[in-house]
Amino acid sequence: MEQQAKQMPKTFDFKEAEGRLYAMWEREGWFKPEIAPKDAEPFVISMPPPNVTGALHLGHALFVSLEDLMTRYERMRGKAALWVPGTDHAGIATQLQVEKMLHDEGTSREQVGREEFLARTWLWKEKYGGRIEDQLRRMGASCDWDRERFTLDDGLSNAVQEVFITLYNQGLIYRGPRLVNWSPGLRTAVSDLEVEREEEPGKLYYFNYPLEGGGSIPVSTTRPETILGDTAVAVHPDDPRYQDLIGKFALVPVLNRRIPVIGDEYVDREFGTGALKVTPGHDFNDYEIGQRHNLPLINIMNKDATLNQNAGIYAGMDRFEAREKLWNDMAALGLTVKIEDINHAVPRSQRGGEIVEPMISTQWFLKIQPLADKALAAVRAGSIRIVPERFEKVYYHWLENIEDWCISRQLWWGHRIPVWYGSDGEVYVGKLPPKDRPGYTWTPEEDVLDTWFSSGLWPFSTLGWPEQTPDLRRFYPTDVMETGYDILFFWVARMIMMGLWFTDQPPFHTVYLHGLVRDKFGRKISKTLGNVIDPLDLVDQYGADPLRMTLLTGSTPGNDVNLDTSRVERNWRFVNKIWQMTNFVTQNLGDEPLESGFPAPADLDLPARWITSRLNKLVASVERLFESYQYGEAGRQIDDFLWTEFADWYIEISKYPLYQGDAQAKANTRRVLIGVLDTCLRLLHPFMPFVTEELWSFLPNRTGKPLIAASWPDGDSRYEDDAAEADMQMLIDLVRGIRNVRDEYQVEPSRKITALIVPGSSPKLFAAYEYLFARLCNVGTINLLADESSAPQQAASVSVGDVTAYLPLADFVDVSAECDRLSKERAKLTEQISRVEKQLGNEQFVARARPDVVEKERTRLAGLKASAEQIDSRIAGLCGDKT
RNA sequence: GGGCGUAUAGCUCAAUUGGCAGAGCGCGGUCCUUACAAGACCGAUGUUAUAGGUUCAAGUCCUAUUACGCCCACCA
C-alpha cells in the first residue's frame, strides 16, 4: 500500500493550481447543495449581486471572502450549502455606461430610440456581463452557478411585476405629482437615498422683496432663480418686525406676480433676515409651507433644468445662467442688498454628481409605512439579528422616520412598470394590456422601476418566487445576508420589508455587515487619489488565498478595513510555509501503511500530547469564534498555531522520533503529524481554499473526496491535557533560555555545548526528553545533577521554576559577566514576584476574584519563587559577596 | 442639530465573560542546522488619546473632554 501518492513540487504554483482546482470543484458539483444528504439542513446565502457590467473591486473581494468562508464552513459541517450568485442590471449605472458609448459613437439614446437603445444595452450586458463572474471565480467563490440569476431574467421580472401589481391592488402604490429629487443630467427622479449632501462653499444672496403699495421685506436665498417660482413670502407670526405685514402682498421681482405675505412658525427669526421666500415648486420645506397655506405650485424648470415659460423672459436659460441674469436685473432695479459667502449643504446626485433639483413631477410611490412596521417588529423581536448589533439602532431610526418611496425612474434600462393607459385616460395595472377594443388603444407606462425595487426581492425571487418551486420550499428563508453597511437602507431594509410582506417570513435570520475597504492609510480608495488597488493584481501576484486571508484576518464586523498590501505578501509567505510543512510531513510518511486518526492519548509522548492538546483547544476556539462571527480572530489563531506551535516546535521535535525512534514511535509521530495537518487544513479551508485543497491531495486520503467535501473537525476532549502543556511549556522556556544565553555570549550556533541540569521536581521528564535540547539548542551532552552543589563555576545558568541548566562555557563566560547577567535576571524576578505577592496579599483579591484566577496567580508565584531561589543560590555560589 | 464609530509598538491590526497588553510588517543582531533564506534563531520597541469614576482587578464598564471618520436631519 503506497502512502505517498504524488511527489510534491517545491513550491505552490498558484497560477496553475487555482484554475485547475476551481474547475474540478465546479465540474464535480461540489458547489451544489445536492451533494449533501437529502435530509441535510440547508444553509443559504444570497450573493449581493454585483452590477452586471462592473469589474471586481476590493469590496467584492471582501464579500466573496466572507460569504465563501461561511458557505464552505457550513458545507463542511454537513449542511446543504447553497450560495446563490447573480448580477444586478443596475439601472442608472449601466444606462450611463451605454449612453457614454453611444456618445463616443457620435449618437445618443434619444437618437437611436428606446428599442434600439435596449438592444444595445443587452449587447453590452452580453459582452461585459461575464467578466465579473469570472472574477468571482478567481477569488474562489463556491457558489452554485447553475442557479445564477440576473435581475432582468424572465423569472425575476415576473416577480417584480407580481409584487408591483399586488402592492397596487393593496392600495400601497399610488401615482401623482409630488415634489421629488430630480436629476437634470439623467433626466429622472431619484429617491431621497440617492441624494448626497455635501457641505460646499456657496453664496447667500440678500435682497428686498418689494411689497405691493411700497416698502419691502428683506429676504435671502442661495438660489435666486427660484424667486421666479415664489408664491409667498413667509415671516414668523410672532415676529414684531414683520407681523403687521402678514396678509399684505408682495410682488415677485421682474415678473411682478402678486403673492401673499404669510405667517408660519417654520420661519427661524434668527436666521438671515428672519423672512423667507416660499417656492413650493422647488423646495421641500416650502412645499410643506405651501400645503399648509394652500399656495399654488409653480414649476419653473424643464426636465433638463433650463427654465420654462413660467420664468418669463428667462425661459430657455440654464438654471445657473438665469441665476446670474436675474440677479443682475434685480440689481438694476435696486432690489439687491449683498452677497455673502457661506458654506452650505448642496444636494448632489449619487451617480452623476450633478446638483439635484427639487421639482414637481408625476411619479409612482410606494406607501412604505405598513411594510416598515413589519420590518421594525421583526428585528425588535429578534427574528432578524444584525451583526454588529449597533446597526440595529441605525436601522430602527431610518425605518421609524421613513418617507414614501419614489419607485419610478425615467430610464429605459430596467423593469418597465406594468401599467397601461387607455386612450380615454383609464389606468390599467397588469402584466399585459387588456384586450383591445375597437377604436381603443392601450399605451404602456414609459417609466421603469428603481433598481432597488427588484433587489429587494432578491432572496426569494432568485429561488423562483412567486412560483412555489422546490428550491423556494427547500431554501427559503435564507440564513445569512452578508453585505456592506453602506447599503443597509438601500437594500437590506428593503429586502426585509419585501420578504416579510410577500412571504410572511424574514428573508434571513442574520444580517452580517462588513465595512469599506480603504487603503493602508485609511483613505477611501478612489481614482482621483490614485490609490486604487485592483484585487486582481494582487491575485495575479500572490494568488487568491493570501488576499482572502488578509481581508478576513484584517476585518471585524461593521468596521472598515485598511488594506496594507504588505500583509498580502506576508500571507503569501504563510501559504508557502504550510506548503513546506506538508512537504515535510509527506516526505516522512515512511513505507508502512498507517492507521488513520490520532493514536490513543496513552500512546503519545509528551510533545505529541502537548500538540494534540493545543490542537483541540484551537478547534474549540475556532468553533466558538465562528459562532460569534469573529472570523478574523479565528484565522489568526490557526495561523499562529500552525506557524509557531506546529512548525517551529512540534515539527522540529518530531525529527527525533522520526529519525531515531523505534517503529512504534515513528508510526505514532507520523500519525500525529498527519493528524494535526489534516485538521488544520480543514480549519483553514474556508479561509484559503486553493492551497489547502491542493495540499490535501498530497495527504494519505482514505475517502478519495476533495477537501471541499471533507467534514469539519470536531474537538476530542480526551486529548486535552493541561499537565502535558505545562511540562512542555517548561521545556520550551528552558530551550529559549539556553538559546538566549548562547546568543548573549555569542556562542557560534554550530558549536555543540554541554548542559548540566538540576531537574528539580521533574527528573523523569529530563531522562525522557533530553534529546530535545540537542535538536533545539544544540546541546551535545546533558548530565543530570542531583543538586546545585556540583555545578561548575565557569558556567552560565538558566532557571525555569525549580529547574536549572548550567552551561559550562569556559571560553565565553567570565564570572563577573555572568554575575551581572544573573543579577539582572534576579531583578526582573523580584519585580514580578512583588507584583504577584501584592496581588495575593490583597485580601479583597483573594476573597472576590474568581477562584481559578487566584489559583493561577498562586501557581505563577510558586514558579517565580522557585526560579528566584535557584538564581539566588547560584549567585551565592558564584559571585560570593558581589551582590 | 441628532446618532454612531475609531483612537493600543514607527506602520497595519488583534486582544473571549473585566484577570500577566499580542501579531505581522518594519528595525538591530546571528545563522545557507538534511520541510521551508518565501527560512530559522535572538533582540529592542507601549503612560492602551486626555481627565475623572466604578471594581480586588480596566485596553475592555461608566462620565466628561479632544482628534479623526461615518450616518441621519427641512435652516432659507
Nearest Cα neighbor of A821 from A810, A832, A829, A833 is: A829
Q: Give the rounded distance of the alpha carbon of A549 from its chain centre.
A: 13
Q: Is the pLDDT of residue A360 over 70?
A: yes
Mean pLDDT across A303-318: 91
Which nucleotide is nearest to A555 if distance is taken from CA to C1'? B13
A664 CA → B66 C1’, Å: 66
Q: Give the rounded distance of the alpha carbon of A4 from its chain centre.
A: 40
The CA distance from A514 to A63, in Å, is 8
The owner of cell 427661524 is A268
Q: Name the pLDDT band for A3 (thresholds 50, 70, 90).
A: very low
A637 CA → B22 C1’, Å: 12
A11 touches strand B (CB under 7 A): yes
Q: Is the pLDDT of residue A568 over 90?
A: yes
The single-letter DSSP state of residue A211 is B
A531 touches strand B (CB under 7 A): no
pLDDT at A123: 93
A748 CA → B16 C1’, Å: 43
A687 CA → B41 C1’, Å: 30
Helices A631-640 and A663-684: crossing angle in degrees, nearest 10, is: 160
Considering only residues 334-373 of chain A, list those whose CB is below 7 Å from strand B: 344-345
Q: Name the pLDDT band for A5 (thresholds 50, 70, 90).
A: low
pLDDT at A813: 78
First to last CA, chain A: 66
HSE, CB side, 13 Å, CA atoms: give it for residue A424: 4
pLDDT at A793: 83
Which nucleotide is nearest to A750 if distance is taken from CA to C1'? B33
Residue nearest to nucleotide B35 (CA to C1'): A584
A654 CA → B2 C1’, Å: 62
- Order of strands, edge to edge, in the sheet holding A195-210? A216-221, A195-210, A336-349
Residue nearest to nucleotide B76 (CA to C1'): A221
A839 CA → B63 C1’, Å: 28
Contact present, A159 and A465 (Cβ < 8 Å): yes
Phi, psi of A855 (to 5 degrees): -60, -40
Q: Is the pLDDT of residue A622 over 80?
A: yes
Q: Is the pLDDT of residue A804 over 70?
A: yes
Mean pLDDT across A629-647: 94
A624 CA → B34 C1’, Å: 40
List the nucleotides on chain B closer than 7 A to a protein CB: 3-6, 11-16, 19-20, 23-26, 29-33, 35-36, 38-43, 55-57, 70-76
pLDDT at A1: 37
A220 touches strand B (CB under 7 A): yes
Considering only residues 544-563 of chain A, list those whose CB is below 7 Å from strand B: 553-556, 559-563
Q: What length does chain A have? A: 883
A874 CA → B49 C1’, Å: 46
Residue nearest to nucleotide B29 (CA to C1'): A743
Q: Is the pLDDT of residue A91 over 90?
A: no
Q: Give the rounded distance of the alpha carbon of A856 from its chain centre.
A: 38
- pLDDT digits 0-9 by tens, A225-234: 999 999 999 9
- pLDDT digits 0-9 by tens, A486-533: 999 999 999 999 999 999 999 999 999 999 999 888 888 888 888 889
The single-letter DSSP state of residue A416 is B
Q: Is the pLDDT of residue A883 over 70?
A: no
A736 touches strand B (CB under 7 A): yes
The CA distance from A562 to A554, in Å, is 8
- pLDDT digits 0-9 by tens, A124-173: 999 888 899 999 999 999 999 999 999 999 999 999 999 999 999 999 99
Q: Is the pLDDT of residue A119 over 50?
A: yes
pLDDT at A882: 45
- pLDDT digits 0-9 by tens, A384-438: 999 998 899 999 999 999 999 999 999 999 999 999 999 888 999 999 988 877 8
Considering only residues 864-883 of chain A, list those whose CB is below 7 Å from strand B: none
The CA distance from A480 to A470, in Å, is 20
pLDDT at A320: 92
Rg over alpha carbons for chain A, rounded to the nearest Å, is 37
A391 CA → B61 C1’, Å: 21
Q: Is the pLDDT of residue A845 over 60?
A: yes
The CA distance from A331 to A325, in Å, is 10
Q: Name the pLDDT band for A198 (thresholds 50, 70, 90).
A: confident
A266 touches strand B (CB under 7 A): yes
pLDDT at A6: 66
pLDDT at A815: 86
Which nucleotide is nearest to A519 if distance is taken from CA to C1'? B12
Contact present, A67 and A46 (Cβ < 8 Å): no
The cell for A102 is 453611444
Against a cut of 0.90, is the pTM above it? yes
pLDDT at A4: 45
The CA distance from A210 to A330, in Å, is 11
The CA distance from A558 to A754, in Å, is 56
Which nucleotide is nearest to A564 if distance is taken from CA to C1'? B12
Mean pLDDT across A594-623: 94
A563 CA → B24 C1’, Å: 13
Considering only residues 613-652 of chain A, list those whose CB is below 7 Å from strand B: 621, 624, 630, 632-633, 636, 640, 643, 647-648, 651-652
Share of chain A above pLDDT 70, in %: 99
Question: What residues contact A301, with CB distance under 8 A and at least 6 apart?
Answer: A182, A184, A282, A307, A308, A319, A357, A359
Q: Is the pLDDT of residue A729 over 70?
A: yes
E-state strands within A563-709? none
Q: Give the rounded distance of the alpha carbon of A370 from its chain centre.
A: 31
A523 CA → B65 C1’, Å: 26
Considering only residues 68-127 of chain A, list those whose CB is below 7 Å from strand B: none
The CA distance from A68 to A85, in Å, is 11
Q: Is the pLDDT of residue A2 over 60?
A: no
pLDDT at A881: 57
More confident residue, A423 or A636: A636
A567 touches strand B (CB under 7 A): yes
The CA distance from A462 to A383, in Å, is 22
Nearest Cα neighbor of A839 from A861, A871, A815 is: A861
The owner of cell 444606462 is A95
A734 CA → B38 C1’, Å: 30
